[in-house]
Amino acid sequence: MQRIDVKPFWHALPFGIAGLTLAFVLASSAGRAAAMFGPASWRALMVVLCIAMATLPWLVLSRTGRRQIGLQRPRSLRWAALGLILGALSATFCYLFGTALFGSGPDHWFVSVARNYQLQPSAGWSLLRLHLTFTIAACLFSPIGEEIFYRGFLQKVLEDRYGARRATFTEASLFALVHLCHHGILMTGAGLQVLPLSGALWVAQMFALSLLFAWLRRRGESIVPAILAHAAFNAAMNGWIFARLWP
């Protein structure tokens, strides 16, 4: 297996690409926690983090390295189409599963996402404007940034050290755990609140979703199907939120 191809500058650093990746994982995870648990005005940090994730390969990797992590066209458009379908179906499953267990109560993971939307400065906006604004952002920033980093950059760095299977398990675990910031650990007026059962179920679903994205990236030989699946998941999630869970 050819190791990830980085720009010459990074070869001179004592900590290497592995150290850089670890530092980025820690910094981005801390930034996500600050964005979700800090004041509402800090939510914009999520956009900054996603842009940083998407930019990282152009700063660190050569053209060959970028191709190695999947920044190229998929081998067939059917993988892009399959990504859209599977992403939307996955979000529908998450909604129906959460509703069957918790109704529209606070343990429903999509209710937590809706609550985060409600904390944004949007007084006087119509429901359609809210839906479009949050959905467009959700279909652009996190699908592009997270897929390029988790299923692309991080996956390849881990593969070079541990092999494909262990790398996929590790990046899927990290992806799932950072999503506790969106449900499972909540910031309320009384402080941090932990939802152990629904939080664990949410992490399990995010882990499975990450494996799906990794499979699409591998079989499509491109990060594009994973990005489209992630975007379709977010679009369908917001569809359910604004159709069924919005107060």
**Two structure tokens written together for 47:** 């956009």
Task: Give φ, ψ of 194 to 5 degrees.
Answer: -110, 135
Q: Which of 202, 226, 232 is nearest to 88 (CA)?
A: 232
Task: Give φ, ψ of 72 to 5 degrees.
Answer: -160, 170
pLDDT in tens, 59-110: 999 999 999 999 999 999 999 999 999 999 999 999 999 999 999 999 999 9
> What is the pLDDT averaged over residues 170-187?
95
pLDDT in tens, 128-160: 999 999 999 999 999 999 999 999 999 999 999
pLDDT in tens, 217-236: 999 999 999 999 999 999 99
* 244 close to 104: Cβ distance less than 8 angstroms: yes
Question: According to the model, what pLDDT value does residue 1 have?
Answer: 65
Tell me: pLDDT of 174 over 90: yes
Dihedral Cα 30, 156, 149, 111, nearest 10 deg: -80
Tell me: pLDDT of 10 over 70: yes
pLDDT in tens, 13-70: 788 898 999 999 999 999 999 999 988 889 999 999 999 999 999 999 999 999 999 9
Question: According to the model, what pLDDT value does residue 191 have?
Answer: 78
Question: According to the model, what pLDDT value does residue 69 have?
Answer: 97
Burial of residue 216 (CB within 10 Å: 0-12, 13-18, 19+) is: buried
What is the distance of C-alpha 59 from the center of its chain? Answer: 21
Question: According to the model, what pLDDT value does residue 158 have?
Answer: 96
Residue with tokens 């979700």: 36
* 235 close to 138: Cβ distance less than 8 angstroms: yes
* Cα distance between residue 4 and residue 11, in whole Å: 12
Burial of residue 60 (CB within 10 Å: 0-12, 13-18, 19+) is: buried
The maximal CA–CA distance of the chain, rounded, in angstroms, is 55
Q: How far is CA 38 from CA 28, 146, 216, in A?
A: 15, 21, 34
